[in-house]
Amino acid sequence: MAEPRIRPIESSHIADLIRIADETNLNHWSAAGYLEELRNPHSIMLRLADDENQTIGFVVGRIVASNDDDSSVDAEIYNIGVTEPLLGRGLGQTLLDSFIDKCLDAGVRAIWLEVRCSNLRAIRIYERNGFESISIRRDLYKEPREDGILMRRSL
């Protein structure tokens, strides 16, 4: 496989996002939810495409006003995932790096995310990338029911 490329997400990719999210037990979004996010001018929606332009991973997040100061902005990562057969090849890191680059370009001060407590692979990646655990959110996830960890990285 050639080096995957980062591409913007378009409405024609939504079925791929849902498939990857289901494969990797991400927080479920409907097709309508992804379409709504595509229309939001503050969204950061990127996909990883293979040499046949097939979606093999994605990240969805948004730039938001900071809670601390109206003049600064933060970002949130809502979902990031790579198709199951390609896990462990650094592709999630590629997506995260691209998201961080977009945030740096936009003057984002901090990136926030939530992750299932059982998702040790993701937690290790986030920690290696400077994310710190802020708090535990009890019963954050519903299918299956599980606590989440709120994490933050300063930029």
User: What domains are there in the chain, each with its CATH number?
Assistant: 5-154 (3.40.630.30)
Q: Express the helix, strand and coil content of the chain in percent, nearest 5 each.
A: 30, 40, 30
Q: Give tens-digit pLDDT for 106-121.
A: 999 999 999 999 989 8
Residue 76 known to be catalytic: no
Name the DSSP letter for residue 87.
T
- Active-site residue flag, 126: yes
Looking at 126, 127, 143, 146, which residue is catalytic? 126
The Cβ of residue 61 has, within 10 Å, a number of other Cβ atoms equal to 24
Which one of the listed residues 34, 37, 78, 114 is annotated catalytic? 114
Radius of gyration of the chain (CA): 15
Of the candidates 19, 2, 113, the one whose C-alpha atom is nearest the C-alpha of residue 61 is 113
Q: What is the pTM of this model?
A: 0.90
Instruction: Output the tens digit of pLDDT for each of the chain's 155 residues.
Output: 678 999 999 999 999 999 999 988 888 899 999 999 999 999 999 999 999 999 999 999 999 976 655 567 999 999 999 998 887 778 999 999 999 999 999 999 999 999 999 989 899 999 999 999 999 999 888 877 889 999 999 99
Q: How far is CA 153 from CA 82, 134, 142, in A?
A: 21, 10, 25
